[in-house]
């Protein structure tokens, strides 16, 4: 509770500082600051969302078959594959103008959406910041779409590249091609030079496995040459798959060699999608309010309602959504009809070693 109070006090002080700094800003910048503050207040009062972010999955279709991904487990199921339609996206933006930051990537590949160009262009025209921080594999994408990313200032894109050679990359990214991904990154950089822009900012995500751990330094150097931020992460899906071999080497590279080491060190979860219910709820390609991105990946597909039909307010202010948030905060008991019932992350939150507020702060630090 003390940390929560300190966080609120720091936020209040930051607002005061922003007001003081605003005196030195141009009129245009002052207007932008005012609009941001106004949007934040509207989103909290109307939807109980902190900030101006939302997550809409552009595509739950993927051409790769990574061993630990849920995509590899739905081959013979009735799981509905879909992509975000431009008309649905436009309607959502027009009806919810206070959401200025949209995450398009979840568990599929956004570039398999045939209407992606129209979505990117319209978002740019409406001054919406698009991001793909959950990740893309960048194997199948046209040069026209790559130019579109740059031309319409797609803000951030995380590229999943687990290796520094095609041999190691294809062990996990089955069906992918390392050389093709690097070629597409170079094309993006070419267009960034042609349009004289820094966008999209590129991140190289490297999941550390036993079969690729020694390529970490090489990949880090390659990322630097490609003007990408290097972001190595642990395999938190299933550590028994291709487990790391040289733990001391991993510790020298990223300070910890397992999720448990990280959680003991920081007293917070290594992965904490629960925060999305407060900061950026997850919506499926066909408009189902999933709450968090893990809902989709566990194939639970628990839904609070369809936002394309009813809008955001109804599902976000529903009894189940409010109960779920209170449950995560420890104010309500676990209920079978909630998306958290079979969730491993929720079970970890019950550990006395894990501090919920600290987990929130750690997540915030990653995104600020």
214-223 tens-digit pLDDT: 999 999 999 9
- How is 9-50 classified by DSSP, letter by letter? HHHHHHHHHHHHHHTTS-HHHHHHHHHHHHHHHHHHHHH--S
Q: How far apart are CA 184 and CA 149, in angstroms?
A: 12
191 falls in which pLDDT band (50, 70, 90)? very high
Residue 292 has pLDDT above 80, yes or no: yes
299-312 tens-digit pLDDT: 556 889 999 999 99
Say what the pLDDT of residue 350 is. 73
- Cα four-point dihedral sign 230, 232, 237, 243: positive
Quick one: 336 exposed, middle or buried, by C-beta within 10 A (0-12, 13-18, 19+)?
exposed
Residue 122: CA count within 13 A, CB half-sphere? 17
Q: Please state the pTM of the whole predicted model.
A: 0.88
Which range, of 34-43, 63-72, 234-243, 335-344, averages the lowest pLDDT? 335-344
Say what the pLDDT of residue 321 is. 94
Say what the pLDDT of residue 15 is. 59
Kindly report the average pLDDT of the chain as a whole number: 88
Say what the pLDDT of residue 5 is. 46
364 falls in which pLDDT band (50, 70, 90)? very low
Say what the pLDDT of residue 60 is. 93
270 falls in which pLDDT band (50, 70, 90)? confident
Q: How far apart are CA 287 and CA 306, in angstroms?
A: 5
78 falls in which pLDDT band (50, 70, 90)? low
pLDDT average, residue stretch 165-183: 97
Higher pLDDT, 243 or 271: 243
Say what the pLDDT of residue 289 is. 94
Cβ–Cβ < 8 Å for 39, 100? yes
122-147 tens-digit pLDDT: 999 999 999 999 999 999 999 999 99
Residue 180 has pLDDT above 50, yes or no: yes
Residue 358 has pLDDT above 80, yes or no: no
């Amino acid at each position: 509770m003390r940390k929560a109070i300190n966080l609120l006090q720091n936020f209040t002080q930051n607002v005061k500082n922003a007001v003081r700094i605003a005196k030195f800003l141009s009129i245009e910048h002052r207007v932008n600051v005012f609009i941001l503050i106004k949007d934040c207040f509207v989103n909290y009062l109307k939807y109980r969302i902190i900030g101006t972010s939302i997550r809409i999955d552009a595509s739950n279709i993927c051409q790769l078959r990574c061993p630990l991904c849920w995509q590899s487990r739905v081959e013979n199921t009735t799981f509905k594959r879909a992509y975000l339609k431009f008309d649905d996206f436009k309607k959502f933006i027009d009806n919810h103008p206070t959401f200025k930051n949209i995450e398009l990537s979840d568990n599929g590949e956004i570039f398999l959406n045939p209407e992606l160009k129209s979505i990117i262009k319209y978002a740019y025209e409406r001054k919406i910041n698009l991001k793909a921080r959950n990740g893309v594999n960048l194997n199948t994408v046209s040069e026209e779409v790559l130019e579109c990313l740059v031309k319409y200032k797609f803000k951030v894109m995380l590229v999943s590249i687990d290796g520094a050679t095609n041999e190691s990359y294809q062990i996990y990214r089955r069906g992918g091609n390392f050389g093709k991904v690097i070629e597409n990154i170079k094309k993006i950089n070419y267009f960034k030079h042609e349009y004289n822009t820094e966008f999209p900012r590129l991140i190289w995500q490297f999941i550390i496995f036993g079969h690729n751990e020694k390529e970490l330094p090489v990949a880090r150097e390659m990322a630097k040459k490609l003007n990408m931020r290097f972001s190595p992460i642990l395999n938190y899906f299933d550590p028994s798959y291709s487990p790391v071999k040289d733990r001391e080497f991993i510790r020298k590279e990223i300070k910890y060699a397992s999720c448990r080491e990280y959680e003991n060190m920081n007293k917070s979860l290594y992965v904490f999608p629960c925060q999305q219910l407060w900061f950026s709820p997850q919506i499926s390609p066909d408009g189902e309010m999933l709450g968090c991105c893990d809902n989709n990946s566990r194939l639970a597909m628990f839904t609070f309602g369809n936002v394309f039909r009813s809008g955001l307010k109804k599902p976000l202010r529903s009894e189940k959504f409010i109960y779920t948030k209170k449950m995560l905060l420890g104010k309500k008991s676990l209920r079978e009809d909630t998306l958290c019932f079979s969730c491993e992350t929720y079970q970890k939150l019950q550990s006395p070693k894990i501090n919920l507020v600290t987990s929130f702060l750690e997540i915030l630090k990653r995104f600020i």
